[in-house]
Amino acid sequence: MPKYRANFVYTHICIIFSCALILLPGCLYAADLQEPDGLINYYDRFHPTIARAGMVVSQNEIASEVGAQILKQGGNAIDAAVATAFSLAVTLPRAGNLTGGGFMLLYLAEEDTSLTINYREVAPAAASENMFLDKNSEPVADLSLHTLAAAGVPGTVAGLFYAHSNYGKLSWKQVIKPAEKLARQGIVFNDDMYRNFAITEGLRQNPESCRVYFKPGCNLYRPGDIFKQTDLANTLAYIARHGRDGFYKGKIAKQIIAEMEKSGGLISAEDLANYQVEIRPAIRGTFNGYDIVTMPPPSSGGVHLVQMLNMFEVLASKDLSPGSAKLMHIQAEIFKRAYADRSKYLGDTDFVKVPTAGLTDKKYARELAKTIKAGAITPSDKIHPGKPPGYESPDTTHFSAVDKAGNVVSSTYTLNHSFGSGITIPGTGMLMNNTMDDFVAKAGVPNSYGLVGGKANAIAPLKHPLSSMTPTIVFKNGKPFLATGTPGGSKIISAVFQQLVNVLFFDMNLAEATNAPRIHHQWQPDVLYVEEGVNTDSIALLKNMGYKVELSKSLGSLQSLMLKDGAALGAADPRRPHAKAVAVDH
Protein backbone atom coordinates (compact mmCIF):
# COMPACT_ATOMS: atom_id res chain seq x y z
CA MET A 1 0.00 0.00 0.00
CA PRO A 2 1.46 3.41 -0.88
CA LYS A 3 2.68 5.39 2.10
CA TYR A 4 0.21 8.25 1.73
CA ARG A 5 -2.73 5.81 1.59
CA ALA A 6 -1.47 3.96 4.65
CA ASN A 7 -1.18 7.19 6.62
CA PHE A 8 -4.67 8.24 5.44
CA VAL A 9 -6.26 4.97 6.58
CA TYR A 10 -4.36 4.97 9.89
CA THR A 11 -5.41 8.56 10.65
CA HIS A 12 -9.10 7.85 9.97
CA ILE A 13 -9.07 4.65 12.04
CA CYS A 14 -7.68 6.65 14.94
CA ILE A 15 -10.37 9.33 14.59
CA ILE A 16 -13.14 6.75 14.46
CA PHE A 17 -11.70 4.89 17.47
CA SER A 18 -11.36 8.13 19.44
CA CYS A 19 -14.93 9.14 18.66
CA ALA A 20 -16.29 5.78 19.66
CA LEU A 21 -14.45 5.39 22.96
CA ILE A 22 -13.67 8.89 24.16
CA LEU A 23 -16.76 10.65 22.69
CA LEU A 24 -14.99 13.87 21.78
CA PRO A 25 -17.26 16.93 21.72
CA GLY A 26 -16.76 17.32 17.97
CA CYS A 27 -17.95 13.74 17.43
CA LEU A 28 -20.99 14.34 19.59
CA TYR A 29 -21.80 17.43 17.54
CA ALA A 30 -21.54 15.47 14.28
CA ALA A 31 -23.84 12.77 15.62
CA ASP A 32 -26.43 15.36 16.58
CA LEU A 33 -26.54 17.10 13.19
CA GLN A 34 -30.11 17.61 11.99
CA GLU A 35 -31.34 17.93 8.40
CA PRO A 36 -31.80 21.72 7.96
CA ASP A 37 -35.06 23.16 6.82
CA GLY A 38 -34.87 24.11 3.16
CA LEU A 39 -36.23 23.70 -0.32
CA ILE A 40 -35.14 20.11 -0.75
CA ASN A 41 -34.73 16.98 1.33
CA TYR A 42 -31.38 15.45 0.42
CA TYR A 43 -32.72 11.92 0.83
CA ASP A 44 -35.74 12.20 -1.48
CA ARG A 45 -35.55 9.92 -4.52
CA PHE A 46 -36.40 12.71 -6.97
CA HIS A 47 -35.49 16.38 -6.77
CA PRO A 48 -36.96 19.47 -8.43
CA THR A 49 -34.92 22.09 -10.25
CA ILE A 50 -34.45 25.23 -8.14
CA ALA A 51 -34.46 28.82 -9.43
CA ARG A 52 -34.30 32.21 -7.72
CA ALA A 53 -35.37 34.60 -10.48
CA GLY A 54 -37.74 32.71 -12.74
CA MET A 55 -38.33 29.41 -14.48
CA VAL A 56 -39.80 27.86 -17.60
CA VAL A 57 -40.90 24.23 -17.76
CA SER A 58 -41.92 22.57 -21.01
CA GLN A 59 -41.87 19.31 -22.89
CA ASN A 60 -38.83 20.36 -24.91
CA GLU A 61 -35.54 21.54 -23.46
CA ILE A 62 -34.76 23.89 -26.37
CA ALA A 63 -38.11 25.63 -25.99
CA SER A 64 -37.62 25.90 -22.21
CA GLU A 65 -34.19 27.46 -22.79
CA VAL A 66 -35.75 29.99 -25.17
CA GLY A 67 -38.28 31.00 -22.52
CA ALA A 68 -35.56 31.29 -19.89
CA GLN A 69 -33.47 33.52 -22.16
CA ILE A 70 -36.47 35.79 -22.65
CA LEU A 71 -36.67 36.17 -18.86
CA LYS A 72 -32.96 37.02 -18.73
CA GLN A 73 -33.51 39.69 -21.39
CA GLY A 74 -36.01 41.45 -19.13
CA GLY A 75 -39.18 39.79 -20.33
CA ASN A 76 -41.87 38.67 -17.93
CA ALA A 77 -43.54 35.26 -17.57
CA ILE A 78 -46.04 36.09 -20.32
CA ASP A 79 -43.25 36.96 -22.77
CA ALA A 80 -41.45 33.75 -21.82
CA ALA A 81 -44.55 31.62 -22.24
CA VAL A 82 -45.34 33.09 -25.67
CA ALA A 83 -41.75 32.60 -26.85
CA THR A 84 -41.83 29.03 -25.55
CA ALA A 85 -45.09 28.33 -27.38
CA PHE A 86 -43.75 29.60 -30.70
CA SER A 87 -40.54 27.60 -30.20
CA LEU A 88 -42.48 24.41 -29.50
CA ALA A 89 -44.04 24.80 -32.96
CA VAL A 90 -40.50 24.26 -34.27
CA THR A 91 -39.01 21.79 -31.80
CA LEU A 92 -42.09 19.65 -31.01
CA PRO A 93 -44.08 19.63 -34.27
CA ARG A 94 -46.37 16.78 -33.21
CA ALA A 95 -47.99 19.05 -30.60
CA GLY A 96 -46.46 22.52 -30.65
CA ASN A 97 -48.29 24.54 -33.23
CA LEU A 98 -49.52 27.71 -34.92
CA THR A 99 -52.73 26.13 -36.23
CA GLY A 100 -54.22 24.50 -33.14
CA GLY A 101 -55.62 26.01 -29.97
CA GLY A 102 -55.71 25.79 -26.23
CA PHE A 103 -56.15 27.48 -22.88
CA MET A 104 -54.00 29.81 -20.80
CA LEU A 105 -54.30 30.64 -17.13
CA LEU A 106 -52.48 33.75 -15.88
CA TYR A 107 -51.71 35.16 -12.47
CA LEU A 108 -50.76 38.84 -12.66
CA ALA A 109 -48.78 39.73 -9.56
CA GLU A 110 -49.13 43.52 -9.70
CA GLU A 111 -52.93 43.30 -9.96
CA ASP A 112 -53.06 40.24 -7.67
CA THR A 113 -55.59 38.66 -10.02
CA SER A 114 -56.06 35.55 -12.13
CA LEU A 115 -57.63 35.30 -15.57
CA THR A 116 -58.25 32.66 -18.20
CA ILE A 117 -57.72 32.96 -21.95
CA ASN A 118 -59.72 30.55 -24.08
CA TYR A 119 -57.97 30.24 -27.44
CA ARG A 120 -59.52 26.91 -28.31
CA GLU A 121 -60.40 26.24 -31.95
CA VAL A 122 -64.01 26.70 -33.11
CA ALA A 123 -66.04 24.83 -35.70
CA PRO A 124 -66.17 26.57 -39.09
CA ALA A 125 -69.41 28.37 -39.96
CA ALA A 126 -70.09 25.69 -42.58
CA ALA A 127 -69.89 22.84 -40.03
CA SER A 128 -73.00 20.76 -39.28
CA GLU A 129 -74.06 18.31 -36.61
CA ASN A 130 -74.04 15.28 -38.91
CA MET A 131 -71.01 16.17 -41.03
CA PHE A 132 -69.05 13.06 -40.05
CA LEU A 133 -71.93 10.58 -40.52
CA ASP A 134 -72.73 8.42 -43.55
CA LYS A 135 -76.16 7.92 -45.14
CA ASN A 136 -76.96 5.38 -42.42
CA SER A 137 -76.15 7.95 -39.72
CA GLU A 138 -73.00 6.10 -38.66
CA PRO A 139 -69.63 7.83 -38.10
CA VAL A 140 -67.27 7.61 -41.10
CA ALA A 141 -63.87 6.28 -40.09
CA ASP A 142 -61.04 8.83 -40.32
CA LEU A 143 -63.22 11.65 -41.70
CA SER A 144 -62.87 13.53 -38.41
CA LEU A 145 -59.16 12.75 -38.17
CA HIS A 146 -57.20 12.76 -41.42
CA THR A 147 -58.98 15.27 -43.66
CA LEU A 148 -59.13 19.05 -43.77
CA ALA A 149 -62.80 18.76 -42.77
CA ALA A 150 -61.38 17.74 -39.37
CA ALA A 151 -59.79 21.17 -38.90
CA GLY A 152 -61.29 23.73 -36.55
CA VAL A 153 -60.57 27.44 -36.95
CA PRO A 154 -57.13 27.86 -35.27
CA GLY A 155 -56.81 29.90 -32.08
CA THR A 156 -53.14 29.62 -31.12
CA VAL A 157 -51.76 32.77 -32.75
CA ALA A 158 -54.74 34.84 -31.57
CA GLY A 159 -54.34 33.54 -28.02
CA LEU A 160 -50.61 34.18 -27.86
CA PHE A 161 -51.05 37.62 -29.42
CA TYR A 162 -53.77 38.55 -26.92
CA ALA A 163 -51.68 37.48 -23.93
CA HIS A 164 -48.60 39.26 -25.17
CA SER A 165 -50.22 42.49 -26.33
CA ASN A 166 -52.10 42.91 -23.05
CA TYR A 167 -49.57 41.62 -20.51
CA GLY A 168 -46.12 41.22 -22.11
CA LYS A 169 -43.16 43.60 -21.76
CA LEU A 170 -40.90 42.87 -24.72
CA SER A 171 -41.80 43.49 -28.35
CA TRP A 172 -43.79 40.97 -30.41
CA LYS A 173 -40.79 40.51 -32.72
CA GLN A 174 -38.51 39.75 -29.77
CA VAL A 175 -40.62 36.85 -28.55
CA ILE A 176 -41.00 35.28 -32.02
CA LYS A 177 -37.41 35.78 -33.22
CA PRO A 178 -35.92 32.77 -31.35
CA ALA A 179 -38.45 30.38 -32.91
CA GLU A 180 -37.80 31.79 -36.38
CA LYS A 181 -34.06 31.37 -35.86
CA LEU A 182 -34.47 27.75 -34.76
CA ALA A 183 -36.60 26.96 -37.79
CA ARG A 184 -34.27 28.70 -40.25
CA GLN A 185 -30.92 27.51 -38.90
CA GLY A 186 -32.23 24.08 -38.01
CA ILE A 187 -32.32 21.89 -34.93
CA VAL A 188 -30.74 18.52 -34.28
CA PHE A 189 -33.18 15.78 -35.25
CA ASN A 190 -33.33 13.70 -32.09
CA ASP A 191 -34.38 10.14 -31.29
CA ASP A 192 -37.78 11.23 -30.02
CA MET A 193 -38.53 12.99 -33.32
CA TYR A 194 -37.25 10.00 -35.26
CA ARG A 195 -39.57 7.66 -33.41
CA ASN A 196 -42.64 9.85 -33.79
CA PHE A 197 -42.13 10.67 -37.46
CA ALA A 198 -41.51 6.98 -38.15
CA ILE A 199 -44.75 5.71 -36.59
CA THR A 200 -47.08 8.45 -37.89
CA GLU A 201 -48.11 7.02 -41.25
CA GLY A 202 -50.58 9.81 -41.97
CA LEU A 203 -47.76 12.29 -42.54
CA ARG A 204 -46.51 10.32 -45.52
CA GLN A 205 -49.95 10.35 -47.13
CA ASN A 206 -49.73 14.11 -47.64
CA PRO A 207 -47.26 15.29 -50.31
CA GLU A 208 -46.57 18.61 -48.60
CA SER A 209 -45.91 16.92 -45.25
CA CYS A 210 -43.52 14.59 -47.05
CA ARG A 211 -41.70 17.56 -48.55
CA VAL A 212 -41.48 19.53 -45.31
CA TYR A 213 -40.79 16.85 -42.71
CA PHE A 214 -38.85 14.22 -44.64
CA LYS A 215 -35.86 13.93 -46.94
CA PRO A 216 -36.37 13.51 -50.69
CA GLY A 217 -38.43 10.43 -51.46
CA CYS A 218 -40.23 10.86 -48.11
CA ASN A 219 -37.28 9.24 -46.33
CA LEU A 220 -36.80 9.82 -42.63
CA TYR A 221 -34.26 12.17 -41.19
CA ARG A 222 -31.89 10.31 -38.88
CA PRO A 223 -30.97 11.22 -35.31
CA GLY A 224 -28.14 13.74 -35.44
CA ASP A 225 -29.22 15.27 -38.77
CA ILE A 226 -29.85 19.03 -38.91
CA PHE A 227 -33.54 19.57 -39.55
CA LYS A 228 -34.42 22.92 -41.11
CA GLN A 229 -37.97 24.28 -41.59
CA THR A 230 -37.55 27.19 -43.96
CA ASP A 231 -41.25 27.58 -44.80
CA LEU A 232 -42.14 27.72 -41.12
CA ALA A 233 -39.34 30.25 -40.51
CA ASN A 234 -40.82 32.48 -43.22
CA THR A 235 -44.29 32.08 -41.70
CA LEU A 236 -42.98 33.07 -38.26
CA ALA A 237 -41.18 36.09 -39.73
CA TYR A 238 -44.38 37.19 -41.46
CA ILE A 239 -46.38 36.89 -38.21
CA ALA A 240 -43.63 38.80 -36.38
CA ARG A 241 -43.97 41.68 -38.84
CA HIS A 242 -47.75 41.76 -39.15
CA GLY A 243 -48.99 40.59 -35.74
CA ARG A 244 -52.28 38.76 -35.38
CA ASP A 245 -53.40 39.85 -38.85
CA GLY A 246 -50.32 38.14 -40.23
CA PHE A 247 -52.07 34.85 -39.57
CA TYR A 248 -55.78 35.61 -39.81
CA LYS A 249 -55.63 37.90 -42.83
CA GLY A 250 -53.21 38.44 -45.69
CA LYS A 251 -50.83 35.92 -47.26
CA ILE A 252 -51.01 33.11 -44.70
CA ALA A 253 -54.80 33.23 -44.52
CA LYS A 254 -54.94 33.03 -48.32
CA GLN A 255 -52.68 29.97 -48.28
CA ILE A 256 -54.91 28.25 -45.72
CA ILE A 257 -58.10 29.06 -47.63
CA ALA A 258 -56.65 27.92 -50.96
CA GLU A 259 -55.88 24.49 -49.52
CA MET A 260 -59.27 24.29 -47.81
CA GLU A 261 -61.06 24.98 -51.08
CA LYS A 262 -58.85 22.53 -52.97
CA SER A 263 -59.07 19.64 -50.50
CA GLY A 264 -62.54 19.73 -48.93
CA GLY A 265 -61.87 21.80 -45.83
CA LEU A 266 -64.54 24.07 -44.37
CA ILE A 267 -62.57 27.01 -42.97
CA SER A 268 -63.33 30.25 -44.81
CA ALA A 269 -61.67 33.65 -44.95
CA GLU A 270 -64.50 34.98 -42.75
CA ASP A 271 -63.92 32.22 -40.19
CA LEU A 272 -60.28 33.26 -39.85
CA ALA A 273 -60.90 37.01 -39.83
CA ASN A 274 -63.68 36.73 -37.24
CA TYR A 275 -61.92 34.41 -34.76
CA GLN A 276 -61.83 35.82 -31.22
CA VAL A 277 -60.30 34.63 -27.99
CA GLU A 278 -62.54 34.65 -24.93
CA ILE A 279 -61.94 35.64 -21.33
CA ARG A 280 -64.15 33.55 -19.06
CA PRO A 281 -64.40 33.33 -15.26
CA ALA A 282 -62.09 30.68 -13.85
CA ILE A 283 -63.34 27.56 -12.10
CA ARG A 284 -62.49 27.83 -8.42
CA GLY A 285 -62.44 25.28 -5.65
CA THR A 286 -60.70 24.42 -2.39
CA PHE A 287 -58.84 21.33 -1.27
CA ASN A 288 -57.10 20.63 2.03
CA GLY A 289 -56.60 24.33 2.77
CA TYR A 290 -55.49 25.30 -0.74
CA ASP A 291 -57.37 27.30 -3.37
CA ILE A 292 -57.65 25.74 -6.82
CA VAL A 293 -57.98 28.02 -9.88
CA THR A 294 -58.45 26.27 -13.20
CA MET A 295 -60.07 26.42 -16.66
CA PRO A 296 -63.81 26.73 -17.30
CA PRO A 297 -65.73 25.15 -20.21
CA PRO A 298 -65.19 24.45 -23.04
CA SER A 299 -62.44 22.77 -21.04
CA SER A 300 -63.97 19.98 -19.01
CA GLY A 301 -60.75 19.76 -17.03
CA GLY A 302 -61.37 22.46 -14.46
CA VAL A 303 -64.91 21.42 -13.55
CA HIS A 304 -64.03 17.78 -13.08
CA LEU A 305 -60.69 18.40 -11.38
CA VAL A 306 -62.51 20.34 -8.66
CA GLN A 307 -65.28 17.73 -8.57
CA MET A 308 -62.73 14.94 -8.10
CA LEU A 309 -60.84 16.82 -5.38
CA ASN A 310 -64.12 17.47 -3.58
CA MET A 311 -64.92 13.75 -3.57
CA PHE A 312 -61.43 12.82 -2.46
CA GLU A 313 -61.65 15.30 0.41
CA VAL A 314 -64.66 13.37 1.69
CA LEU A 315 -63.13 9.92 1.25
CA ALA A 316 -59.51 10.57 2.25
CA SER A 317 -58.30 9.14 5.55
CA LYS A 318 -55.02 9.16 7.43
CA ASP A 319 -54.37 5.49 6.71
CA LEU A 320 -54.18 6.06 2.96
CA SER A 321 -50.72 5.59 1.49
CA PRO A 322 -49.32 6.31 -1.99
CA GLY A 323 -49.39 3.30 -4.28
CA SER A 324 -51.82 1.33 -2.15
CA ALA A 325 -54.74 -0.59 -3.62
CA LYS A 326 -57.05 1.27 -1.24
CA LEU A 327 -55.98 4.64 -2.62
CA MET A 328 -56.20 3.52 -6.24
CA HIS A 329 -59.64 2.03 -5.67
CA ILE A 330 -60.93 5.34 -4.26
CA GLN A 331 -59.39 7.28 -7.12
CA ALA A 332 -60.76 4.94 -9.81
CA GLU A 333 -64.29 5.19 -8.42
CA ILE A 334 -64.00 8.99 -8.24
CA PHE A 335 -62.83 9.09 -11.85
CA LYS A 336 -65.74 6.96 -13.07
CA ARG A 337 -68.35 9.24 -11.54
CA ALA A 338 -66.73 12.42 -12.84
CA TYR A 339 -66.32 11.10 -16.39
CA ALA A 340 -69.93 9.90 -16.39
CA ASP A 341 -71.04 13.45 -15.57
CA ARG A 342 -68.69 14.78 -18.26
CA SER A 343 -70.45 12.68 -20.88
CA LYS A 344 -73.80 14.37 -20.25
CA TYR A 345 -73.25 17.88 -19.03
CA LEU A 346 -70.07 19.40 -20.49
CA GLY A 347 -69.91 21.53 -23.63
CA ASP A 348 -69.38 25.07 -24.85
CA THR A 349 -71.35 27.35 -22.55
CA ASP A 350 -72.12 29.69 -25.47
CA PHE A 351 -74.35 26.90 -26.79
CA VAL A 352 -75.44 24.75 -23.84
CA LYS A 353 -76.17 25.28 -20.18
CA VAL A 354 -73.51 23.57 -18.05
CA PRO A 355 -74.32 23.08 -14.34
CA THR A 356 -70.84 24.26 -13.35
CA ALA A 357 -71.75 25.36 -9.83
CA GLY A 358 -73.60 22.12 -9.20
CA LEU A 359 -70.84 19.86 -10.49
CA THR A 360 -68.25 21.64 -8.34
CA ASP A 361 -70.48 21.85 -5.26
CA LYS A 362 -69.10 20.09 -2.18
CA LYS A 363 -72.54 18.88 -1.15
CA TYR A 364 -72.94 17.14 -4.51
CA ALA A 365 -69.49 15.60 -4.01
CA ARG A 366 -70.58 14.22 -0.64
CA GLU A 367 -73.61 12.61 -2.29
CA LEU A 368 -71.46 10.97 -4.93
CA ALA A 369 -68.89 9.89 -2.33
CA LYS A 370 -71.60 7.99 -0.43
CA THR A 371 -71.90 5.64 -3.43
CA ILE A 372 -68.23 4.63 -3.16
CA LYS A 373 -67.68 1.70 -0.81
CA ALA A 374 -64.38 0.42 0.56
CA GLY A 375 -63.21 -2.68 -1.28
CA ALA A 376 -66.22 -2.77 -3.62
CA ILE A 377 -66.26 -1.54 -7.20
CA THR A 378 -69.24 -0.13 -9.04
CA PRO A 379 -69.33 -1.42 -12.63
CA SER A 380 -69.44 1.40 -15.17
CA ASP A 381 -72.78 0.21 -16.56
CA LYS A 382 -74.26 0.82 -13.10
CA ILE A 383 -72.95 4.39 -13.00
CA HIS A 384 -74.98 7.08 -14.72
CA PRO A 385 -74.55 10.84 -14.87
CA GLY A 386 -75.61 12.28 -11.55
CA LYS A 387 -78.04 15.08 -10.83
CA PRO A 388 -76.03 18.13 -9.81
CA PRO A 389 -77.89 21.18 -8.51
CA GLY A 390 -79.35 23.75 -10.98
CA TYR A 391 -77.72 25.28 -14.00
CA GLU A 392 -75.51 28.19 -14.25
CA SER A 393 -53.83 13.71 -27.44
CA PRO A 394 -52.41 12.29 -26.01
CA ASP A 395 -50.13 14.64 -28.02
CA THR A 396 -51.09 17.93 -26.57
CA THR A 397 -48.36 19.82 -24.72
CA HIS A 398 -48.14 22.05 -21.67
CA PHE A 399 -45.76 24.75 -20.44
CA SER A 400 -45.51 26.73 -17.22
CA ALA A 401 -43.55 29.92 -16.50
CA VAL A 402 -42.88 32.26 -13.59
CA ASP A 403 -40.82 35.45 -13.37
CA LYS A 404 -39.09 37.20 -10.47
CA ALA A 405 -42.05 39.55 -10.03
CA GLY A 406 -44.32 36.59 -9.32
CA ASN A 407 -46.34 36.50 -12.55
CA VAL A 408 -47.34 32.94 -13.41
CA VAL A 409 -48.48 31.31 -16.65
CA SER A 410 -49.96 27.83 -17.06
CA SER A 411 -50.95 26.96 -20.62
CA THR A 412 -51.91 23.85 -22.58
CA TYR A 413 -52.32 23.78 -26.36
CA THR A 414 -52.71 21.15 -29.05
CA LEU A 415 -53.22 20.00 -32.62
CA ASN A 416 -55.38 17.25 -31.05
CA HIS A 417 -53.76 14.05 -32.35
CA SER A 418 -50.04 13.63 -32.91
CA PHE A 419 -49.19 15.95 -35.85
CA GLY A 420 -52.91 16.85 -36.03
CA SER A 421 -54.46 15.77 -39.31
CA GLY A 422 -51.02 15.13 -40.81
CA ILE A 423 -51.83 17.68 -43.54
CA THR A 424 -49.44 20.60 -44.08
CA ILE A 425 -50.66 23.83 -45.68
CA PRO A 426 -48.45 24.30 -48.77
CA GLY A 427 -45.78 26.96 -48.45
CA THR A 428 -46.34 27.60 -44.73
CA GLY A 429 -44.68 24.70 -42.90
CA MET A 430 -47.80 24.46 -40.71
CA LEU A 431 -49.64 21.23 -39.90
CA MET A 432 -53.42 21.59 -39.54
CA ASN A 433 -55.29 20.44 -36.44
CA ASN A 434 -57.93 17.70 -36.36
CA THR A 435 -59.76 19.15 -33.37
CA MET A 436 -63.23 18.58 -34.85
CA ASP A 437 -62.86 14.99 -33.60
CA ASP A 438 -63.26 16.37 -30.07
CA PHE A 439 -66.93 16.97 -30.85
CA VAL A 440 -69.43 14.14 -30.63
CA ALA A 441 -69.99 12.81 -34.14
CA LYS A 442 -72.92 10.75 -32.84
CA ALA A 443 -74.33 10.68 -29.31
CA GLY A 444 -73.12 7.66 -27.35
CA VAL A 445 -70.40 6.73 -29.86
CA PRO A 446 -66.86 7.09 -28.42
CA ASN A 447 -64.44 9.45 -30.10
CA SER A 448 -60.82 8.54 -30.85
CA TYR A 449 -59.95 8.85 -27.14
CA GLY A 450 -62.75 6.48 -26.13
CA LEU A 451 -64.68 9.36 -24.58
CA VAL A 452 -68.45 9.16 -24.78
CA GLY A 453 -70.50 12.33 -25.12
CA GLY A 454 -73.98 13.57 -25.83
CA LYS A 455 -75.93 16.49 -27.19
CA ALA A 456 -74.03 19.05 -25.13
CA ASN A 457 -70.91 18.43 -27.24
CA ALA A 458 -72.58 18.02 -30.64
CA ILE A 459 -71.08 19.85 -33.62
CA ALA A 460 -72.46 23.33 -34.32
CA PRO A 461 -71.11 26.25 -36.35
CA LEU A 462 -68.66 28.47 -34.43
CA LYS A 463 -68.86 26.21 -31.36
CA HIS A 464 -65.80 25.21 -29.33
CA PRO A 465 -65.31 21.44 -29.05
CA LEU A 466 -65.04 20.07 -25.53
CA SER A 467 -61.52 19.57 -24.20
CA SER A 468 -59.82 17.84 -21.29
CA MET A 469 -56.98 20.38 -21.08
CA THR A 470 -56.50 21.43 -17.45
CA PRO A 471 -54.00 24.25 -16.90
CA THR A 472 -54.20 24.95 -13.18
CA ILE A 473 -52.72 27.27 -10.56
CA VAL A 474 -52.95 26.33 -6.86
CA PHE A 475 -52.87 29.11 -4.29
CA LYS A 476 -51.70 28.98 -0.67
CA ASN A 477 -52.64 31.83 1.63
CA GLY A 478 -53.72 33.85 -1.39
CA LYS A 479 -50.45 33.54 -3.32
CA PRO A 480 -49.51 31.20 -6.20
CA PHE A 481 -48.07 27.94 -4.92
CA LEU A 482 -48.18 25.50 -7.83
CA ALA A 483 -48.72 25.81 -11.60
CA THR A 484 -49.28 22.64 -13.58
CA GLY A 485 -50.84 20.93 -16.56
CA THR A 486 -50.23 18.08 -18.96
CA PRO A 487 -50.98 16.59 -22.36
CA GLY A 488 -52.72 13.22 -22.47
CA GLY A 489 -56.15 13.56 -24.08
CA SER A 490 -58.78 12.00 -21.84
CA LYS A 491 -56.10 11.20 -19.25
CA ILE A 492 -55.21 14.83 -18.57
CA ILE A 493 -57.69 15.42 -15.75
CA SER A 494 -56.79 12.28 -13.81
CA ALA A 495 -53.05 12.99 -14.16
CA VAL A 496 -53.35 16.53 -12.79
CA PHE A 497 -55.62 15.27 -9.99
CA GLN A 498 -53.10 12.63 -8.88
CA GLN A 499 -50.21 15.08 -8.87
CA LEU A 500 -52.20 17.55 -6.74
CA VAL A 501 -53.16 14.80 -4.29
CA ASN A 502 -49.50 13.76 -4.05
CA VAL A 503 -48.39 17.32 -3.24
CA LEU A 504 -51.32 18.75 -1.31
CA PHE A 505 -52.35 15.64 0.63
CA PHE A 506 -49.30 13.37 0.81
CA ASP A 507 -46.81 16.28 1.03
CA MET A 508 -44.51 14.94 -1.69
CA ASN A 509 -42.04 17.29 -3.27
CA LEU A 510 -42.96 18.34 -6.81
CA ALA A 511 -40.53 15.98 -8.53
CA GLU A 512 -41.69 12.99 -6.46
CA ALA A 513 -45.33 13.85 -7.13
CA THR A 514 -44.62 14.08 -10.85
CA ASN A 515 -42.62 10.86 -11.06
CA ALA A 516 -45.05 8.73 -9.02
CA PRO A 517 -46.86 6.02 -11.07
CA ARG A 518 -50.38 6.94 -12.15
CA ILE A 519 -53.65 5.21 -12.95
CA HIS A 520 -56.63 6.21 -15.08
CA HIS A 521 -60.30 5.28 -15.43
CA GLN A 522 -62.73 7.23 -17.61
CA TRP A 523 -65.99 5.35 -16.98
CA GLN A 524 -66.20 4.06 -20.54
CA PRO A 525 -64.58 1.73 -21.40
CA ASP A 526 -64.78 -0.02 -18.02
CA VAL A 527 -61.00 -0.49 -17.76
CA LEU A 528 -58.55 0.58 -15.07
CA TYR A 529 -55.31 1.63 -16.76
CA VAL A 530 -52.11 1.46 -14.71
CA GLU A 531 -48.59 2.56 -15.53
CA GLU A 532 -45.47 0.49 -15.13
CA GLY A 533 -44.24 1.01 -11.60
CA VAL A 534 -47.59 0.47 -9.92
CA ASN A 535 -47.05 -2.11 -7.18
CA THR A 536 -47.82 -5.64 -8.43
CA ASP A 537 -49.41 -6.61 -5.10
CA SER A 538 -51.74 -3.62 -5.39
CA ILE A 539 -52.63 -4.64 -8.94
CA ALA A 540 -53.50 -8.14 -7.72
CA LEU A 541 -55.76 -6.69 -5.02
CA LEU A 542 -57.47 -4.44 -7.57
CA LYS A 543 -58.09 -7.41 -9.85
CA ASN A 544 -59.54 -9.35 -6.92
CA MET A 545 -61.96 -6.47 -6.34
CA GLY A 546 -63.20 -6.97 -9.88
CA TYR A 547 -61.33 -4.32 -11.88
CA LYS A 548 -60.31 -5.09 -15.44
CA VAL A 549 -56.72 -3.87 -15.23
CA GLU A 550 -54.61 -3.04 -18.27
CA LEU A 551 -51.02 -1.85 -18.39
CA SER A 552 -50.86 1.53 -20.10
CA LYS A 553 -48.21 3.63 -21.71
CA SER A 554 -47.31 6.73 -19.77
CA LEU A 555 -50.31 8.66 -18.49
CA GLY A 556 -49.57 12.32 -19.15
CA SER A 557 -46.50 14.56 -19.11
CA LEU A 558 -46.84 17.14 -16.35
CA GLN A 559 -44.77 20.32 -16.73
CA SER A 560 -44.99 22.06 -13.39
CA LEU A 561 -43.47 24.58 -11.04
CA MET A 562 -43.91 25.40 -7.36
CA LEU A 563 -43.25 28.68 -5.55
CA LYS A 564 -41.81 28.26 -2.08
CA ASP A 565 -39.69 30.39 0.24
CA GLY A 566 -38.82 32.91 -2.47
CA ALA A 567 -37.72 30.31 -4.99
CA ALA A 568 -39.23 28.40 -7.90
CA LEU A 569 -39.08 24.61 -7.90
CA GLY A 570 -39.59 22.99 -11.28
CA ALA A 571 -40.36 19.46 -12.39
CA ALA A 572 -40.41 18.31 -16.02
CA ASP A 573 -42.10 14.94 -16.38
CA PRO A 574 -39.62 12.19 -17.38
CA ARG A 575 -42.43 10.39 -19.24
CA ARG A 576 -41.48 12.45 -22.30
CA PRO A 577 -37.86 12.66 -23.48
CA HIS A 578 -36.25 16.10 -23.67
CA ALA A 579 -38.67 17.76 -21.24
CA LYS A 580 -36.85 20.22 -19.00
CA ALA A 581 -37.26 22.82 -16.28
CA VAL A 582 -34.84 25.68 -16.94
CA ALA A 583 -33.89 27.95 -14.05
CA VAL A 584 -33.11 31.66 -14.11
CA ASP A 585 -31.06 32.74 -11.09
CA HIS A 586 -30.39 36.43 -11.73
Spatial CB neighbours of 286, under 8 Å, sequence gap ≥ 6: 292
321-347 pLDDT tens trace: 999 999 999 999 999 999 999 999 999
The span from the CA of 113 to the CA of 167, in Å, is 12
How buried is residue 22: exposed, middle or buried, by Cβ count under 10 Å (0-12/13-18/19+)?
exposed
pLDDT, position 393: 60
pLDDT, position 441: 84
Where exactly are the structural domains of the chain? Answer: 1-33, 49-277+402-457, 283-394+469-570
Spatial CB neighbours of 499, under 8 Å, sequence gap ≥ 6: 484, 513, 514, 516, 558, 560
Q: How far is CA 374 from CA 367, 497, 501, 547, in A?
A: 16, 20, 19, 14
Give the pLDDT mean for 464-479.
97
pLDDT, position 5: 40
pLDDT, position 586: 86
Model pTM greater than 0.75? Answer: yes
Label residue 37 by pLDDT band (50, 70, 90): low
Nearest CA to 98 out of 106, 89, 107 is that of 89
Q: Mean pLDDT of all residues in the chain? A: 92
8 A C-beta contact, residue 123 and residue 461 = yes
Label residue 386 by pLDDT band (50, 70, 90): confident
Say yes or no to pLDDT of 18 above 80: no
Task: Provide, rounded to the nearest whole percent, the portion of the chain with pLDDT above 90.
Answer: 85
- The count of other CB atoms within 10 Å of the CB of residue 41 is 12
- Given 84, 91, 99, 396, which residue is catalytic? 396
The span from the CA of 146 to the CA of 150, in Å, is 7
Say yes or no to pLDDT of 11 above 70: no
Say yes or no to pLDDT of 97 above 90: yes
Label residue 387 by pLDDT band (50, 70, 90): confident
The span from the CA of 340 to the CA of 378, in Å, is 12
Task: Provide, rounded to the nearest whole percent, the portion of the chain with pLDDT above 70.
Answer: 91
- The count of other CB atoms within 10 Å of the CB of residue 551 is 10
* DSSP one-letter code for 221: P
Say yes or no to pLDDT of 410 above 60: yes
pLDDT, position 390: 56
pLDDT, position 34: 52
Which region among 9-18, 85-94, 157-166, 554-563 has the lowest average model confidence (pLDDT)?
Answer: 9-18
* DSSP one-letter code for 264: T
The span from the CA of 330 to the CA of 494, in Å, is 13
Residue 160 CA to chain centroid, in angstroms?
A: 16
φ/ψ region of 233 (left if φ > 0, alpha if ψ in -120 to 50, else beta) reads: alpha
Nearest CA to 121 out of 272, 16, 246, 322 is that of 272
The answer to whether 360 is a known catalytic residue is no
Which region among 50-64, 201-215, 431-445, 485-499 has the lowest average model confidence (pLDDT)?
Answer: 431-445
Give the right CATH number for 283-394+469-570 from 1.10.246.130, 3.40.50.140, 3.40.50.720, 1.10.10.10.
1.10.246.130
Nearest CA to 103 out of 464, 429, 575 is that of 464
Give the pLDDT mean for 235-253.
98
The span from the CA of 159 to the CA of 120, in Å, is 8
Say yes or no to pLDDT of 392 above 50: no
8 A C-beta contact, residue 46 and residue 511 = yes
